[in-house]
RNA sequence: GGGUCGUUAGCUCAGCUGGUAGAGCACCGCACUUUUAAUGCGAUGGUCGACGGUUCGAAUCCGUCACGACCCA
């Protein structure tokens, strides 16, 4: 270790010396302390208890947590500890402790240390519920100081790289991850109540399928076999529906080898669910019900505020087709020009969208949609009738074979969900895979592989089924009012520091 | 990949057209038995992201790089 490092860590050195002194006295890391209660339980149980009531019938408690603040006033001190639920004030007076303990032990402890304390509840003269401590012990010495108490951590990089510090310091951040947990468990409960069965399907796949995206590639040594981290679980979940699990869902990680942004992390969490004997409209209804329920669960109402804008999940969601939505947001365009390839590609070019030779009408329409419509879909909206060309796993529409029985769901200008009636015609699916292979050979490395094993499964008969995927991270962003996907991922991917 | 901004004490931040590196919090010492961003007094703490250039002199100007944030693709 260099001199520079030693000098840089002056406060750490002081704390190490204190730890060394603890080691010499005996067990520096005792584990036997048991608390009887957490802070939030105390606040709710004694919310209405007056100062006098608490003094008249004393309540003994044992609490534990991290020292967050400390105010030493000679022979007595106040400090706040923080546990999993809340902060709690302790009143520690010299004369309430064993002889010498206050001066020789307690005063040498630092902010950040983890302690256990025992005493009786009381109210201070400002009315704050606190513990008058008569026994206290250091459980874990913190060798490094916490960030500044008032401003907390301002540097986003530290929040992401040292999430534990962010969680210690930021109530908002703890809240965000609490919302994430609530969202996931709400969804799980919602689906289980409707007879869906939770399953886990492979994350390492020999043929990556279920989405058009570039996969991560890895290698299995014993089998000497190339494997891909999955970009979606879709094809495995549908195999399960073939197997007779008629309602299945999975909430798990997908991996896509693409760029990072405020809405993209290479690994992200996806809900996918499949319901036999249902069509995409059934899933739109289900989605509407689920999101409305989520909004109410998280915020207590159906209107949520995201980045200063209000979105109402209470009223019926808007529904439009892709083409209708393009015309709606581009009043100068006509249905006629948008519905043949030459007209559509002219529109695309005026919008600055490069149109490749291989693009069909559907692909061009989707490019126009993404450029001119997607970010404007603020209120909860279903967009339907996606072109077959960009929907290789979705069933063709009976009235218009150029589009599929598919929808995507948008709110706040962002895609949250994608669902469709599944393509259960094995021969049509084989043709669609073949098209994808051609696109891959033409240089589109996001195009799908031909999955012959999946075709075999379809040949055994997939009942009419509707399926859907919902990006959990983006959903949590919405309900936690988080501007970046990194704010809802405990450990977002960061470049390694040299 | 492109653009803009940022990187100064453990943390939050100042530092003007180049001239000896600053504050608050934390830490250390003293005082203080109802404080809560405790208070009062005193002290310590810096390879100014890295490397190179311009200059008598660079935290400051220029270039390259690293890392990050935001926007665009």
| Per-residue pLDDT band at A137 (split at 50, 70, 90) | very high
The ipTM is 0.88
- Whether the per-residue pLDDT at A2 is higher than 70: the answer is no
Strand partners, A404: A396
State residue A439's pLDDT score: 86
d(CA A169, CA A480): 18
Nearest-10 Cα torsion for A470, A474, A479, A481: -170
Query: How far does the CA of A405 sit from the C1' of B55, in Å?
Result: 71
State whether residue A269 is helix, strand or coil. strand
Strand B and A181 CB separated by under 7 Å: no
Mean pLDDT computed over every residue of chain A: 92
| Per-residue pLDDT band at A9 (split at 50, 70, 90) | low
CB A97 within 8 A of CB A124: no
What integer is the mean pLDDT of A454-466? 98
- Whether the per-residue pLDDT at A153 is higher than 90: the answer is no
Strand-pair category, A318-321 with A204-205:
unpaired
| Per-residue pLDDT band at A127 (split at 50, 70, 90) | very high
Query: How far does the CA of A86 sit from the C1' of B30, in Å?
Result: 34
State residue A497's pLDDT score: 63
Closest residue to B9 (CA, C1′): A8
What integer is the mean pLDDT of A435-445? 86
State residue A152's pLDDT score: 85
- Whether the per-residue pLDDT at A6 is higher than 50: the answer is no
Which is it for the CA torsion A61, A64, A69, A74, positive or negative? positive
State residue A259's pLDDT score: 83
d(CA A266, CA A217): 13
Per-residue pLDDT of A43-96, as tens digits, reads 999 999 999 999 999 999 999 999 999 999 999 999 999 999 999 999 999 999
Per-residue pLDDT of A85-115, as tens digits, reads 999 999 999 999 999 999 999 999 999 999 9
State residue A43's pLDDT score: 97
State residue A470's pLDDT score: 96
Give the rounded percent of residues in chain A with a pLDDT score beyond 90: 80
State residue A213's pLDDT score: 86
Read off the tokens for A204.
Answer: 């390492």
| Per-residue pLDDT band at A467 (split at 50, 70, 90) | very high
Per-residue pLDDT of A177-208, as tens digits, reads 999 999 999 999 999 999 999 999 999 999 99
Between these two residues, A193 and A12, which has the higher pLDDT value? A193
Strand partners, A410: A381, A415
- Whether the per-residue pLDDT at A301 is higher than 70: the answer is yes
Per-residue pLDDT of A322-350, as tens digits, reads 999 999 999 999 999 999 999 999 999 88
Beta strands across the sheet bearing A217-220: A204-205, A225-229, A217-220
What integer is the mean pLDDT of A426-440? 93
State residue A7's pLDDT score: 39
Closest CA to A137 of A257, A27, A15, A285: A27
Nucleotide nearest to A69 (CA to C1'): B36
Nucleotide nearest to A495 (CA to C1'): B67
Chain A 59..78 CB hits on strand B (< 7 A)? 69-76, 78
The model carries a pTM of: 0.92
State residue A156's pLDDT score: 86
State residue A3's pLDDT score: 35
- Whether the per-residue pLDDT at A8 is higher than 70: the answer is no
State residue A4's pLDDT score: 34
How far does Cα A33 stand from its chain's mean position? 34
Nucleotide nearest to A375 (CA to C1'): B72
d(CA A94, CA A112): 21
Nucleotide nearest to A96 (CA to C1'): B33
What integer is the mean pLDDT of A462-486? 94
| Per-residue pLDDT band at A420 (split at 50, 70, 90) | very high
The protein footprint on chain B, as nucleotides within 7 A of a CB, is: 1, 10-13, 24-28, 31-39, 44-47, 66-73
Chain A 127..146 CB hits on strand B (< 7 A)? 127-128, 130, 132, 145
Range with lowest mean pLDDT among A3-7, A30-34, A41-45 = A3-7
Query: How far does the CA of A10 sit from the C1' of B27, in Å?
Result: 9
Read off the tokens for A167.
Answer: 């969680």
Nucleotide nearest to A153 (CA to C1'): B11
Strand B and A1 CB separated by under 7 Å: no
State whether residue A467 is helix, strand or coil. strand
Strands (E), A322-478: 381-384, 406-411, 414-421, 465-471
Which is it for the CA torsion A115, A120, A126, A129, positive or negative? positive
Range with lowest mean pLDDT among A54-63, A140-149, A422-431 = A140-149
d(CA A38, CA A125): 23
Q: Residues near A187 by Cβ (< 8 Å), separated by ≥ 6?
A: A251, A271, A290, A294, A470, A472
State whether residue A50 is helix, strand or coil. coil
């Amino acid at each position: 270790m260099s001199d520079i490092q030693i000098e840089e860590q002056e406060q750490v050195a002081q704390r190490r010396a204190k730890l060394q002194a603890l080691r010499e006295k005996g067990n520096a890391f005792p584990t036997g302390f048991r608390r009887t209660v957490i802070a939030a339980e105390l606040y709710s149980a004694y919310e209405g208890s007056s100062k006098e009531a608490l003094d008249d019938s004393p309540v003994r408690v044992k609490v534990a947590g991290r020292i967050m603040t400390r105010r030493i006033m000679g022979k007595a001190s106040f400090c706040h500890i923080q546990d999993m639920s809340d902060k709690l004030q302790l009143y520690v007076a010299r004369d309430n402790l064993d002889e010498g303990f206050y001066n020789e032990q307690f005063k040498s402890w630092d902010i950040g240390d983890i302690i256990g304390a025992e005493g009786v509840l009381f109210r201070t003269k400002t009315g704050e519920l606190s513990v008058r401590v008569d026994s206290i012990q250091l459980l874990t010495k913190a060798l490094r100081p916490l960030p500044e108490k008032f401003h907390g951590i301002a540097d986003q990089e530290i929040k992401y790289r040292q999430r534990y510090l962010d969680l210690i310091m930021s109530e908002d951040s703890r809240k965000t991850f609490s919302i994430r947990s609530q969202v996931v468990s709400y969804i799980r409960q919602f689906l289980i109540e409707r007879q869906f069965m939770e399953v886990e399907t492979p994350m390492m796949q020999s043929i990556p399928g279920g989405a058009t995206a570039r996969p991560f590639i890895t290698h299995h040594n014993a089998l000497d076999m190339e494997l891909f981290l999955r970009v979606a679980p879709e094809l495995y979940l549908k195999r399960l529906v073939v197997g007779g699990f008629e309602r299945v869902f999975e909430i798990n990680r997908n991996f896509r080898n693409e760029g990072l942004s405020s809405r993209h992390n290479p690994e992200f969490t996806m809900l996918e669910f499949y319901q036999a004997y249902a069509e995409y409209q059934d899933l739109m209804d289900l989605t509407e019900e689920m999101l409305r329920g989520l909004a109410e669960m998280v915020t207590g109402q159906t209107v949520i505020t995201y980045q200063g804008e209000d979105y109402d999940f209470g009223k019926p969601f808007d529904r439009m087709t892709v083409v209708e939505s393009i015309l709606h947001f581009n009043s100068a365009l006509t249905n006629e020009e948008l519905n043949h390839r030459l007209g559509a590609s002219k529109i695309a070019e005026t919008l600055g969208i490069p149109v490749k030779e291989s693009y069909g009408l559907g692909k061009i329409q989707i490019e126009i949609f993404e450029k001119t419509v997607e970010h404007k879909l603020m209120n909860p909206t279903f967009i339907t009738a996606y072109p077959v060309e960009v929907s290789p796993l979705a069933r063709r529409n009976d009235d218009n074979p150029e589009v599929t029985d598919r929808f995507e769901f948008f709110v706040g200008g962002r895609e949250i969900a994608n669902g469709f009636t599944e393509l259960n015609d094995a021969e049509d699916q084989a043709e669609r895979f073949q098209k994808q292979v051609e696109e891959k050979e033409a240089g589109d490395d996001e195009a799908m592989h031909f999955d012959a094993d999946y075709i075999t499964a379809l040949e055994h008969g997939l009942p009419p089924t509707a399926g859907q995927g919902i990006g959990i991270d983006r959903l949590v962003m919405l309900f936690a009012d988080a501007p970046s996907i990194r704010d809802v991922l405990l450990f977002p991917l960061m470049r390694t520091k040299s």
